[in-house]
């Protein structure tokens, strides 16, 4: 019987060597600004673009956004120690032992790269404070683990971040039916995943950082396709109480991406055209609405990383506009929870929790509209402490939840069809003194492609510092922020978070 501890420790010690070494690029790989995918199949198009992109090709705005991306994600991961999900996952990976190659965020420990990728991913996604789409926790921990292991530069990591994000969002746009189904039916599909295919983007980005030749890049992508976990998001939605695994097995995805790259680097083979042919990944993975042209479009022309949404609240994005409305009402009218007669909160169709009044676990709270709106009514920030036991069990908060009625905004479908960035909301508070207070919102805070809603650098750093201070001193948190803002000047990322 194979011992899992031994297998993971062995995987963490495999050298990433192949003909030509880390710089093993072919002569025809000369970079050009905005390099576009070569003609041919989907796999080759993705692989060639990933291999050809250079740091020097990146616009200044994209480089800056990659720094913001890492700043936000690392803060979320450090704060993830305030969750049961994060602590259990990190502790399990610590227990495997093995050679210390990459940092376990929020600690001074180092783990084998696959184990660090698993633990940091689970920490990053634990509080649902990570950015939308949920690409960072399915790519970034894998990239960081390998970049630290191979002692790559900050510029190499930035390029990897961009490669992973650009591929991941296109694969999702080319395959996901979740939002379309919600718009048309008010329900999610019976079978769907949320950014599961990010494993393929992460493996491609690792290959790009390490200079894979065409063969090894195509096999890394193929291996990642075979390792991609089943589309189990709908199954998770139906569960109550909500479980630690959540909608996406982010740890497994990141560990799988590292493993795929390690194996491909050693010459391990898979289908080198995983997206192409009559029995390709879209078919065997069950993508009914696969649009290959979307998966290949816009590379080097439209940088999707610039439109990422950073979340000001640690809660499911579907509830954010309602949280914003409630917080504005409390601030503007000095609403006290004991003076509230009733609350009606309307938003987009939201089916991730079948029993939102029964909040038992931290994940229950993250996906409960009445819980997060009640916290806002009590003036409690939706931060890393929002799901502490003292709040989950607070009789006053539960009493407020009982006075909340929630539902779908009458214009939700029309608004979503017109602009998929919208999360329309209306919150109405009826006070015991007879006043009726109403607040509406079309977009939540943090929409990256809308300047008036985008989180500024200052706001994003404040979020990072608040999260990082849960495990670091004030001075340590600020030093780390300074290093992240100057990531492109760092020659060796192995000590980035130390």
Digit-by-digit pLDDT tens for the chain (498 residues) are 334 333 333 344 343 333 333 333 333 443 333 334 445 699 999 999 999 999 999 999 999 999 999 999 999 999 999 999 999 999 999 999 999 999 999 999 999 999 999 999 999 999 999 999 999 999 999 999 999 999 999 999 999 999 999 999 999 999 999 999 999 999 999 999 999 999 999 999 999 999 999 999 999 999 999 999 999 999 999 999 999 999 999 999 999 999 999 999 999 999 999 999 999 999 999 999 999 999 999 999 999 999 999 999 999 999 999 999 999 999 999 999 999 999 999 999 999 999 999 999 999 999 999 999 999 999 999 999 999 999 999 999 999 999 999 999 999 999 999 999 999 999 999 999 999 999 999 999 999 999 999 999 999 999 999 999 999 999 999 999 999 999 999 999 999 987
Report the C-alpha gap between 256 and 203 in whole angstroms. 8
Pick 317-441's CATH classification: 3.40.190.290, 3.30.1330.120, 3.30.1490.190, 1.25.60.10: 3.30.1330.120
What b/e string do you get for 450-460 counting C-beta neighbours within 10 Å, with b at 16 or more?
eeebbbeeeeb
**The two three-digit tokens of residue 293, written as one number:** 């042209």
pTM of the full predicted structure?
0.92
Apex 481 CA angle, 380 and 163, nearest 5? 100
CATH homologous superfamily for the domain 4-307: 2-methylcitrate dehydratase PrpD (1.10.4100.10)
Domain boundaries, the chain: 4-307, 317-441
Mean per-residue pLDDT over the chain, rounded: 92
CB 437 within 8 A of CB 343: no
* pLDDT for the residue numbered 498: 74
- Sequence-distant contacts of 187-193: CB under 8 A, at least 24 apart: 187/349, 187/351, 188/233, 188/234, 188/237, 188/351, 189/234, 190/234, 191/231, 191/234, 191/286, 192/231, 192/233, 192/234, 193/229, 193/230, 193/231, 193/232, 193/233, 193/248
CB 432 within 8 A of CB 444: no
What b/e string do you get for 275-286 counting C-beta neighbours within 10 Å, with b at 16 or more?
bbeeebbbeebe
Q: Of the candidates 16, 127, 19, 129, which has an alpha carbon nearest to the alpha carbon of residue 82?
A: 127
């Amino acid at each position: 019987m194979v011992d899992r501890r031994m297998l993971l420790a062995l995987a963490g010690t495999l050298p990433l060597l192949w003909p030509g070494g880390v710089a093993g690029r072919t002569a025809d790989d000369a970079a050009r600004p905005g390099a576009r995918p070569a003609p041919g199949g989907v796999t080759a198009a993705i692989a060639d673009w990933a291999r050809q992109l250079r740091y020097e090709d990146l616009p200044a705005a994209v480089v800056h956004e990659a720094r913001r991306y890492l700043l936000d994600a690392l803060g979320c991961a450090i704060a993830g120690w305030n969750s049961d999900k994060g602590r259990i996952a990190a502790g399990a990976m610590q227990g495997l032992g093995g050679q210390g190659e990459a940092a376990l965020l929020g600690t001074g420990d180092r783990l084998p790269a696959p184990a660090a990728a698993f633990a940091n991913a689970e920490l990053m996604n634990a509080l649902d404070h990570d950015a939308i789409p949920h690409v960072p926790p399915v790519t970034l921990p894998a990239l960081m683990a390998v970049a630290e292991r191979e002692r790559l530069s900050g510029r190499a990591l930035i390029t990897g971040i961009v490669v992973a994000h650009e591929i991941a969002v296109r694969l999702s746009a080319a395959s996901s039916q979740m939002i379309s189904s919600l718009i048309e039916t008010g329900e999610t599909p019976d079978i769907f995943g949320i950014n599961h295919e990010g494993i393929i983007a992460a493996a491609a980005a690792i290959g790009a950082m390490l200079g894979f030749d065409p063969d090894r890049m195509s096999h890394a992508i193929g291996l990642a396709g075979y390792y991609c976990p089943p589309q189990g998001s709908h199954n998770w939605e139906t569960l109550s109480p909500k479980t630690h695994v959540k909608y996406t097995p982010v740890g497994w995805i990141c560990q799988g991406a590292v493993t795929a790259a390690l194996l491909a680097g050693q010459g391990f083979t898979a289908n080198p055209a995983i997206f192409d042919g009559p029995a390709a990944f879209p078919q065997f993975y069950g993508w009914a609405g696969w649009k290959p042209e979307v998966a290949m479009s816009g590379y080097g022309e439209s940088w999707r990383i610039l439109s990422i949404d950073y979340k000001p609240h640690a809660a499911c994005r579907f509830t954010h506009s309602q949280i914003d409305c409630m917080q504005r009402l409390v601030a503007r009218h000095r609403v006290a929870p004991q003076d509230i007669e009733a609350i009606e909160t309307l938003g987009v169709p939201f089916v991730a929790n079948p029993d939102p009044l029964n909040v038992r676990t931290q994940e229950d709270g993250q996906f409960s509209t009445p819980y997060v709106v009640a916290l806002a009514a009590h003036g409690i920030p939706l931060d890393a402490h929002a799901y502490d036991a003292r709040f989950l069990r607070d009789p006053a908060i539960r009493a407020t939840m009982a006075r909340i009625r929630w539902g779908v905004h009458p214009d939700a479908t029309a608004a979503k069809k017109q602009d998929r960035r919208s999360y329309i909301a209306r919150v109405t508070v009826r006070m015991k003194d007879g006043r009726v207070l109403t607040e509406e919102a079309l977009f939540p805070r943090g929409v990256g492609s809308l300047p008036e809603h985008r989180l500024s650098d200052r706001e994003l750093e404040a979020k990072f510092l608040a999260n990082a201070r849960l495990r670091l001193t004030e001075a340590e948190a600020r030093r780390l922020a300074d290093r992240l803002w100057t990531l492109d000047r760092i020659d060796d990322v192995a000590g980035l978070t130390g």
